[in-house]
Structure 1
Amino acid sequence: MSSVSEKFLEDEISTHLTAAGGYQLCKVGTDPEWRQDFKAKAGLDTVELFAFIELTQGPEWAKLVKAHGGEGELARPRFVQRLTHQIDERGTVDVLRHGVRDQNVEIRLSYRKPAFGVSPELVAHYDANRLTITRQLPFDPESTKTVDLCLFLNGIPVATAELKNHLTGQNIEHAIEQYRTDRDPKNITLARRALVHFAVDPDAVAMTTKLEGKSTRFLPFNLGHNLGKGNPPNPGGHKTSYLWERVWTKDAWLDILHRFIHVDRPAKGSVTARRAAEKIIFPRYHQWDAVMKLQADAIANGAGQSYLIQHSAGSGKSNTIAWAAHRLSTLHTEDDHKIFDKVVVITDRVILDRQLQDTIYQFEHARGVVVKIDQDSAQLAQALAGEQARIIITTLQKFPFVIGKIGELPARNYAVVIDEAHSSQTGEAAKDLRLALGAGEEHELTAAEAEDAGLLSTAIDPVEEALAQSVGARSGRQPNLSYFAFTATPKGRTLEMFGSLNPQTQVHEPFHLYSMRQAIEERFIMDVLANYTTYQTFWKIEKATEGDPEYDAKKARRAIARFVSLHPHHLAQKAEIIIEHFRQHTAKEMGGLAKAMVVTSSRLHAVRYKQNIDKYIKEKGYSDIKTLVAFSGKIDDGTGKPLTETNMNGFPEARTAEEFGTAEYGVLIVAEKFQTGFDQPLLHTMYVDKPLVGLAAVQTLSRLNRIHPLKENTFVLDFRNETDDIVEAFEVFHGCTVAPPTDPNILWDTRRRLDDFDVLRPDEVEAAMPALLGAGASDEKRSAETYAALGPAKARFEEMSDEERLEFRDALTRFVRTYSFVSQIAAFTDPSLERDYVYCRALSLYLRDTGTVERLDLGTEVELTHLRHQMTFTGTLAMTSETGEVRSFFGEGKGSQQELDMEHLSSIVEVLNDRFGTDLTDVDKLLLDQFEESWVADGELSDQAQNNTIDNFRLVFDRKFLQTIITRVDANDEIYKKILDDEDFRVILGEFYLRKVYERLRDPASS
């Protein structure tokens, strides 16, 4: 029974819907006047059902009655039986849209609003739709349980809602819990009639389309506030009044039921399996809002406009594009003129073709409305000029042809919907487009890599360039062509081409926005900057030639950096860091399902990484890690046999993504491929050994952001980039301010900060461990014990002032988040810290506030003499601005004919050593050189080297190496302490000299 607190919200909603929302009437399900209207076993309001049929389809109903023997009282239950069977078989959506056939008589169950035309009959049928609302509906024939609200269309339940009120200590979370625990997911009304269920309080709304008991997932259905989650203040009433004042009103609600909701069906599997896996797709608020605003503006302004829709990853862009494309294909003006003759969707998403076809067929039951063009340009030209296809799907590479062909058809209007208004990445996408224009594959792969290595800021984005050339200046835009560009990460040039100019600020803005911040806060994507670690590589080199040749300094620095990055010792050290971190931390995440990606700067780097990582795994005897590599083309690694993704992995490259998704493989090493558009929710950790600039940083790191039920965090270990550069890249697209970066020592500082509030008690923390860690108890008992254990702390929390609560909750969240991160990379000897984390994590949940380039090779002219990797940062990367600004750079520029900055090789070496050789002294090198000479002069080592493999030689050398260090330890040099105290350094140093001494002793001429 509804409490007084919920009743006022029921009153407000039902009053508005019947007075101003187009609803026929409001019933009270428990009232004797209406109790018999709803048949719980059938899940239908039969009174409203037959009132609609007899009003709109009198002749058809008379035929049906006659077919059933001429008695209306006999025909009614028989038709109800037929209708319930059809809904159970086909689903509510299909029956509402396409009716049912009984005794060869077709009966419509609803009428959609005419997309065009002013036929009085069509308008009358639409107006005759009977929307009703029932309060306290007794939905369960086996009990007296009621649902607060149920919305009906012509007697068929289409939505339910549970309402809560903060003033009585309940909120939206309680409504969600009620659906999960007190609403039978097999109930006919809830499971096989209603399409969506809403949890509502005065501040927030959430919705789900499928009840699955405790596993039910509710999605936020909020407007968003200050670029984040939630709803803005409403001076005229409740924050959530938009639900009944906008969404549930007749025209909007019937439009959603007829032209938004669709059933997502798997493409593979048996009929039974596919039917069981079906899901109803209901638009999230930002999706519905974006599509309706695009429609309104296109009707008002016609063709010749541009729109930029900035929707974050996790926003459901594929569905939004499908809904928008269908809308645009049927738009008419008030005087019945079609606005767009064709809609062209430009996308590289394979999924979008099937999704559009399936969705639109559900709306119209018509084939040929959507045509995919993946053949030749003649096929595309025919589709653009023909009459049948209303929506044409083609690829980014066909875009220039599309624009040219449209220019030849000025009498027709076109809507061009662009899925990502720039290429996914400079290298791979640039290669694809240039290949389409006839360039050789290996040449273009090399060119793309060269751009990626150092020219990202000047490299041309091919898709963006094609758009710019076709769109041109705003004054020269084709009046028969409108652009609808969807992107999560708009570049400056994209904004200028498609954005809306704000007259007050004089900047181009998105027409519609769903920010990265809101997506993260609403938990549709992970915050990939929450756990971030950087390493810096320190190295020194020497000139290995007698002369001192001159080189262009910029090219020489890049060539030397490449030489160092590909050096065997360099890659061996990083391979060890990566694999040990993966085994100790990543492999334990997500119930052992977590996977990692190694992002490399070139195809050769990917090959060498694969070789070094696999070698390290074999040497260590690890049997629980297997790797895959992904790169395009082939690489000559000096062995005479070209290496490809296929021959390195052992299966065709088309299977790489699928195989990586299996339990057999844990690490994927990539060069360009899979850095964007790769959807793998099990991807938890990324090891970055590639410079990431601007948009590339965001797109690459965002491969980690896909959510998964077992995914609580992500982790990035970055060998190449500065944290400030990463933050700067993300700020442009994030749109929010979050907690500042933390020093690693903040873990203890944040824990100590919690003591200032006197909420945590050590004895209570200790006593709570059995319940929190689940020591053999049932779920029910654990739940009760957990709440009991957290109760005293919650009580002390509630006694605080509002300001103190805010401070405590912030400190609690900081500690939990910091521990969760730092524990991945550091071992703790204080068990109380682990207990505090377990306790505080549970408490934080309990207290959650519900509201083409020539490459220079200097490999034979320099020698690597020093090498070390050091962690430089670990913590959270925080955004500090709400609005990011990106600029476009047009104009001449310097091009490629710049004056060369020539320098002597010795000077270049000196500059690089000053930058990268910090903390490695000449004394260190001198001492190590002395060690090397003593080992080369050692007779025993010489004999062993001449007569053994390097693996057998290792047995003697390792002993000699350690003896040399120990006998000199009294010299009190820091280098000795470093070797003896740092096992990693000792192993790497020993490995380096093992190989160097072995080669010198085997080939004295090399000395």
Structure 2
Amino acid sequence: MSQAGKVPQSEQALENALIEQLETLGYSYVSIPDEAALKSNLKTQLEKHNEITFSDAEFQQILHHLDKGNVFERAKTLRDKMCLTRDNGESFYLNFMEQDEWCQNEYQVTNQVTIEGSYKNRYDVTLLVNGLPLVQIELKRRGLELKEAFNQINRYQRHSFGASHGLFQYVQLFVISNGVNTKYYANNRKQSFKQTFYWADEDNHPIKRLDVFAKIFLEKCQVSKMMSKYIVLNETDKILMVLRPYQYYAVEAIVEKVKHSRKNGYIWHTTGSGKTLTSFKTAQILMDLPKVHKVMFVVDRKDLDYQTNKEFNSFSKGSVDGTNNTKALVNQLSGDTKLIVTTLQKLNTAISKSRYQKAMEPLKDKRIIFIFDECHRSQFGDTHKRINAFFNKPQMFGFTGTPIFADNVAKNQHGKRTTKDLFGDQLHKYVITDAIRDENVLKFSIEYVGRYKQKDGSQNSIDIEVEGVDTRELMESPYRLEKITDYIIANHARKTHSRDFTGMFCVSGVDVLTKYYDLFQAKKEAGEHKLRVATIFSYTANEDDKDADGLIEEIDPLDGLSEGRTVNKHTRDKLESYIADYNKMYGTKFSTKDSQSFYNYYNDIGKRVRAREVDILLVVNMFLTGFDSPPLNTMYVDKNLKHHGLLQAYSRTNRILNEKKSQGNIVCFRNLKKATDDAIALFSNKDAKETIIVAPYEDYVTHFNKAFSTLLGIAPTVDSVDALVTEDDELLFIKAFRELLRLRNVLTTFADFSFADLAMNEQSFNDYRSKYLDLYDKVKSNTQKEKVSILEDVDFELELIHRDEINVAYIMKLLAQLKGQDDDTATKQRKVILDLVAGDAHLRSKRKLIEKFILENLPKVTHADAVPEAFSEYWDEEKQAALATICEEENLNPERVETLINQHLFTEITPLRDEVVAAMVNKPKLLQRKTLAQRALDKIMGFVETFIIDAPD
């Protein structure tokens, strides 16, 4: 049989082949059909690993000790020793996993373990270390999406991993594979499919085939090393994180350097790829090396916004205080603290000021390792010299996303020194093309707005330029600035998916910034927009980015009022008034009256941008480097940028978040095309443009039309979706329409987007979308069946359907517009309203209610202004009636049910079935409880979705 004609390898065959391979790698196969066998095997393996025999009573102590806490807390239990009180009263320290000599553990493989929780689930392949299930592998037959395996594991986490003693909550790593593609990720329920990773070799070539992945990654010593050394317990978010392959190789490279040499080095990992996590893990491992006296992790204070402070202090409590308190650093250096996280500014002060010389003198001959985050900073030049002059044995390692090469070194920058001049050899490289290929960062969609040629050759003109003229007078003319402001107001919702994401606007200088801010504010007061615009800038002298040499020179927010510095009174007054606007908008009390208050303002802005509470952040230089905000997806640019400064600024937009965030949007109001091409070539290669920049609008139109043709081959008409016979046919339709959703999601961010350009009109799109949601509802309602549907683990990506502007308040406005219209117009408008409701994932549960209001209540409303009140009264009546019906049908106490609902809304945790049983007036028999409680729970959650989520005010 030809390769093309082969039947895809079945899941069972894939499973058998993997188990055979793992046995050749040294795993012992053990049959474990259920939890009783799992516990029995655990006892045997722990005895073997600890070279001791436990009595049944002692083992019950161990099970009780293991059966505590969530996944994060159990990860700590796994890494700690247990003090076991033996039957004879003696204490014994029990080791669950050997971490220092990580190869010295007991390894087994099993398959098809069956655990019964809410539902009975059987897991594919489980790797046991000392009897505990620490790696869970879920397989899908070739041709199926990996995301289905990911969703299946999420289902197991909801239904059965926590059952009984919850031993499967000790899983540290998940592996998902269809044989051709294989990914791994940490046990962290907060993450999405976007946080799953391919393993790779040292040159960043991905290793996707299951057999090759197993040989390298699942080898006993390697997988143990990953769990022992390269899983991070994030204390801030209480989650497990695992390093990606390039992070692993970077840490390994530095550790090898420290073990075998005194040479320096640097890591080039592209912006947005997780350098801080990598450097933290490096510091943590280095501090355990016996020959190392101290490890100093050095960051620039301007990067220490609220979130970074929180992260750093969770790693080394009290090490970062965001102040100029150098005494605490000197005390740490003199004391027993082996890992010190500090700022560049404090380190510089400690080695420069005479008052610290006595305390610092004994450190001169000690072996101290310095790790610098974002080592391309300009300030590092002088500090670098001082460290080498003060310490006799310093070893320095730098991390950067945009190294300084000979091509992009600033003419006046520290004697034209490059990153290599400062740190020596490059130890590992992971450039933006690698990150985009691995889906660790997003591509950029770049539009040049004005009389500039776009990359696709078309023009996107709003007449803001005179070609060939680039004078300051023209660039800062009121006419041009207002045109750009109007463009942003008109297009911001499109770029940010109805303000579901946020934007940043970088401009050439403070004078221009103040003009833009005043324009936004005046237009807001005139009712032309509702955008929340915030700003921050330095009000010191020399505020303009005069030479745009590639270096973004951020002013330290704590140095804003430094003694002896010339202050521009006019711009400070302006900033004070803008902060007053901010205080009014958010109920805060910041000012420029002292540096700490200004610093707090700086931190607060960062928090609110991340929380999507600021729509557009208007800046000159601040926040263009080192600021990480996944919800930020759009950068407006009216500033000359080039080299690393350009790529750093653009990279604020390309953090991975969810399916809806498909790319980072860059809108240039200056002709930065050559500068962009040059930066891409410098930091990847000259042919990388197609990898880094999304295709032009016309290409996506072509892709959409081809996808529509595929859809028609499956379901030629909207009604034919209902005639699909098998789940396999339904699956084909779901995947075909989901591809249209993904493409439309990208298309809508282009300013030129129109359904008129597509082969499918908007009404057809909406009609097919309703059928797509019908299938989602069908799958959702079938979860009680014993047989698992093949559609159950398909991701419908509902975030691509929901539109924030289509909510109950919006629907009420449309209902009000029905009053006073003639019958034909009203009939058409009613259809529009019901189609909108049916086509939105969040609103379709409310369709019958809205339809009933239109037919029965709306005719009784006398005028349009009375519609909102009438609708709210109707909603409350229906809500009370629905709750009463549920309580009556399911034998529930109304007060207890309301308590359950309130707890759910507060905690966002679905009530347990036992809690539902406790709310029942008459408790059902034991055999009936599972079925009746689940049915009642489904009705309660359906009530919440219909009547509470996005309900009218």
1:50 matches 2:47: yes
1:421 matches 2:375: yes
Q: Which runs of 5+ in 2 are unaligned?
A: 1-8, 406-416, 453-462, 541-566, 584-588, 591-600, 773-789, 795-953
1:394 matches 2:342: yes
1:259 matches 2:209: no
Residue 28 of structure 1: how far off its partner (Å) = 2.7
Residue 465 of structure 1: how far off its partner (Å) = 4.9
**Equivalence map 1:89-238=2 (5 Å):** 90-102=73-85, 105-110=91-96, 112=98, 114=100, 129-140=105-116, 145-164=121-140, 166=142, 169-170=143-144, 172-181=146-155, 184-188=158-162, 189=166, 192-210=169-187, 212=189, 218-223=195-200, 230-231=206-207
Change (3 A) 1:134 1:353: farther
Instruction: Write out per-residue CA displacement over residues 875-912 of structure 1, whole angstroms, 9 at most, x where no aligned residue.
Output: xxxxxxxxxxxxxxxxxxxxxxxxxxxxxxxxxxxxxx
Candidates 312, 319, 323, aligned match of 2:270? 312
Candidates 617, 626, 634, aligned match of 1:668? 617
Higher mean C-alpha displacement, 199-208 vs 212-221: 212-221
SS in 1 for 2:399: strand
1:597 matches 2:580: no
SS in 1 for 2:531: coil
**Equivalence map 1:358-757=2 (5 Å):** 358-359=314-315, 374-384=323-333, 386-401=334-349, 409-423=363-377, 461-467=378-384, 480-492=393-405, 493-497=417-421, 510-529=426-445, 533=449, 535-536=451-452, 561-583=471-493, 585-586=494-495, 589=497, 592-619=499-526, 621-633=527-539, 642-644=574-576, 645-650=578-583, 651-652=589-590, 653-654=601-602, 655-661=604-610, 665-709=614-658, 710-734=660-684, 737=688, 739=690, 746-747=698-699, 750=702, 754=706
Instruction: Write out per-residue CA displacement over residues 597-649 of structure 1, whole angstroms, 9 at most, x where no aligned residue.
Output: 22111111111101112223333x23532322221227979799554342353
Instruction: Write out per-residue CA displacement over residues 299-354 of structure 1, whole angstroms, 9 at most, x where no aligned residue.
Output: 122xx21121112233222221121101111214xxxxx1x211111113435665
Q: Which amino acid aligns with 2:674?
A: D
**Equivalence map 1:218-297=2 (5 Å):** 218-223=195-200, 230-231=206-207, 239-240=209-210, 243-266=213-236, 278-297=238-257
Change (3 A) 1:769 1:414: farther
CA distance in 1, matches of 2:513, 2:259: 51
Match in the other structure for 2:32: 29
Higher mean C-alpha displacement, 157-166 vs 716-725: 157-166
Change (3 A) 1:136 1:197: same
Residue 136 of structure 1: how far off its partner (Å) = 3.2
CA distance in 2, matches of 1:830, 1:347: 50
SS in 2 for 1:612: helix
Q: Which runs of 5+ in 1 are unaligned?
A: 62-71, 115-122, 233-238, 267-276, 333-337, 361-366, 424-460, 502-509, 542-556, 772-776, 795-808, 851-1007
Is the Cα contact below 8 Å between 1:598 and 1:670 reproduced in 2?
yes
Q: Which amino acid aligns with 1:739?
A: E
Residue 39 of structure 1: how far off its partner (Å) = 3.2
SS in 2 for 1:138: strand
Match in the other structure for 1:958: none
CA distance in 1, matches of 2:768, 2:402: 36
Is the Cα contact below 8 Å between 1:374 and 1:395 reproduced in 2?
no
**Equivalence map 1:803-814=2 (5 Å):** none
Q: Which amino acid aligns with 1:825?
A: D
CA distance in 1, matches of 2:71, 2:199: 31
Is the Cα contact below 8 Å between 1:627 and 1:666 reproduced in 2?
yes
Match in the other structure for 1:429: none
Residue 485 of structure 1: how far off its partner (Å) = 0.7
Residue 500 of structure 1: how far off its partner (Å) = 5.8
CA distance in 2, matches of 1:17, 1:707: 35
Change (3 A) 1:840 1:673: farther
Residue 580 of structure 1: how far off its partner (Å) = 1.5
CA distance in 2, matches of 1:10, 1:35: 23
Q: Which amino acid aligns with 1:572?
A: E
SS in 2 for 1:149: strand
Q: Which amino acid aligns with 2:170?
A: R
Residue 517 of structure 1: how far off its partner (Å) = 1.9
SS in 1 for 2:444: coil
CA distance in 2, matches of 1:225, 1:127: 22
Residue 227 of structure 1: how far off its partner (Å) = 5.2
Q: Could you tell me the TM-score, scaled by structure 1's length?
A: 0.59
Identity of counterpart residues, as a percentage?
Answer: 17
Is the Cα contact below 8 Å between 1:165 and 1:201 reproduced in 2?
yes
CA distance in 2, matches of 1:632, 1:250: 54
Is the Cα contact below 8 Å between 2:499 and 2:615 reproduced in 1?
no
CA distance in 1, matches of 2:427, 2:571: 55
Match in the other structure for 2:18: 10
SS in 1 for 2:255: helix
Residue 575 of structure 1: how far off its partner (Å) = 1.6
Match in the other structure for 2:911: none
* Aligned residue pair count: 680
Q: Which amino acid aligns with 1:574?
A: I
Residue 97 of structure 1: how far off its partner (Å) = 2.3
1:342 matches 2:342: no
CA distance in 1, matches of 2:10, 2:743: 40
CA distance in 2, matches of 1:86, 1:539: 62
Higher mean C-alpha displacement, 80-89 vs 343-352: 80-89
Residue 133 of structure 1: how far off its partner (Å) = 2.5
Q: Which amino acid aligns with 1:614?
A: Q
CA distance in 2, matches of 1:315, 1:106: 44
Q: Which amino acid aligns with 2:486?
A: E
Instruction: Write out per-residue CA displacement over residues 81-134 of structure 1, whole angstroms, 9 at most, x where no aligned residue.
Output: 3432478894133343232454783532236455xxxxxxxx8xx876323222
Change (3 A) 1:96 1:667: closer
Instruction: Write out per-residue CA displacement over residues 629-678 of structure 1, whole angstroms, 9 at most, x where no aligned residue.
Output: 22122797979955434235335234333344566642221121222222
Change (3 A) 1:668 1:47: same
Is the Cα contact below 8 Å between 2:138 and 2:175 reproduced in 1?
yes
SS in 2 for 1:39: helix
Change (3 A) 1:399 1:770: farther
Q: Could you tell me the TM-score, scaled by structure 2's length?
A: 0.62
CA distance in 2, matches of 1:839, 1:483: 61
Is the Cα contact below 8 Å between 2:464 and 2:483 reproduced in 1?
no
Is the Cα contact below 8 Å between 2:374 and 2:400 reproduced in 1?
yes
Change (3 A) 1:258 1:290: same
CA distance in 2, matches of 1:615, 1:47: 75
Q: Which amino acid aligns with 1:625?
A: L
Change (3 A) 1:838 1:254: same
Q: Which amino acid aligns with 1:150?
A: T
Is the Cα contact below 8 Å between 2:186 and 2:241 reproduced in 1?
yes
Q: Which amino acid aligns with 2:481?
A: L
Candidates 280, 302, 313, aligned match of 1:322? 280
CA distance in 2, matches of 1:415, 1:154: 36
Q: Which protein, 1 or 2, shows the higher relative CO under an 8 Å CA cutoff with sep ≥ 6?
A: 1
